[in-house]
Structure 1
């Protein structure tokens, strides 16, 4: 039913390099939030969880004098742009359907408006879900990026979420079949 799982994404070296440095615990928490929000906004929980897991894959480390500089980050960061590109390329390499990979990449691109000129941005439901999932897990001064999670626990949590997504998709499919008969 799904082309790529969250565990497959987690296990890829690109995810390990870039999502870990931006906060794997935050990414997983956002994936869980996105799964729950997907039901409310009637979007694919699979796409929502994947986009939320990858939403910060484009982060660059903004350091000054060997210390993280949050103000430098806020002033210069374009992580959503780089992240959209990385997420798309990673998903295509893993075998995600190109249309799904594009939708996920656009949700990564639009999960924040911090890099855009001031104005009003109108998000599609999937994009809104990823934005809200990110907001739900944010902490002051970017502290959410520094929570630590062990790889075994991360993989277990993602496998559990993969199963929840599978179960939900099966439930939806059964409802469709029952309503058409």
Structure 2
């Protein structure tokens, strides 16, 4: 089975739809951070970058009176749950190995504990920690990191560079 690349994942129509909501810039930046952290921590860069790229694909927009309402969004947030489901379905459609799809979807599910009534401190495995840390590195107050801009062509160029760096054991 050949490796499903980050560029293939990014170019899929489902990814395009949901990354428009959560921010292409944020997704690609977090994937880049995840690669570096994975190398440093001995975690699979393939799993880390895929998880990081897809970590926020469960986001939705919450508007009140025609204006973005960050506080209401935070109160009703379940983006990690929706994102895990979407990431798994997407990867299976692309022909990804089932165990890879499962690990990625779990990392997406556990990249934040904002939707839980408890914290995940010391509960994540190494991959999940890498994705959570990479996400925190790019975070800005009030979700502003989701509004940074990056064109799809810039994203493909950066993801292609990451793809070339990733070596998957046979």
TM bucket (normalised to shorter chain) is: over 0.9
Provide the rounded CA distance (Å) in 2 between the counterparts of 1:3 and 1:39. 18
RMSD (Å), alpha carbons:
1.4
TM-score, with normalisation over the residues of structure 2? 0.95
Look up the SS of the partner of 1:74 in the other structure. Answer: helix
Unmatched segments (≥5 aa) in structure 2: none
2:60 matched to which residue of 1?
60
Unmatched segments (≥5 aa) in structure 1: 174-181
Provide the rounded CA distance (Å) in 2 between the counterparts of 1:28 and 1:93. 21
The 4+ residue runs of structure 1 with deviation greater than 4 A are none
1:6 matched to which residue of 2?
6
**Residue 145, structure 1, aligned to residue 146, structure 2:** yes
Provide the rounded CA distance (Å) in 1 between the counterparts of 2:25 and 2:2. 23
1:159 matched to which residue of 2?
160
1:96 matched to which residue of 2?
96
The 1:120/1:7 distance shift into structure 2, 3 A limit, reads closer
Following superposition, the deviation at residue 40 of structure 1 comes to 2.0
Following superposition, the deviation at residue 165 of structure 1 comes to 1.2
Partner deviation per Cα, 1:59-83 (whole Å, 9 max, x = no partner)? 0111111111110111111000000
TM-score, with normalisation over the residues of structure 1? 0.89
Residue correspondences, number: 169
1:126 matched to which residue of 2?
127
The 1:2/1:44 distance shift into structure 2, 3 A limit, reads farther
Query: After alignment, is 141-150 or 118-127 more displaced?
Result: 118-127
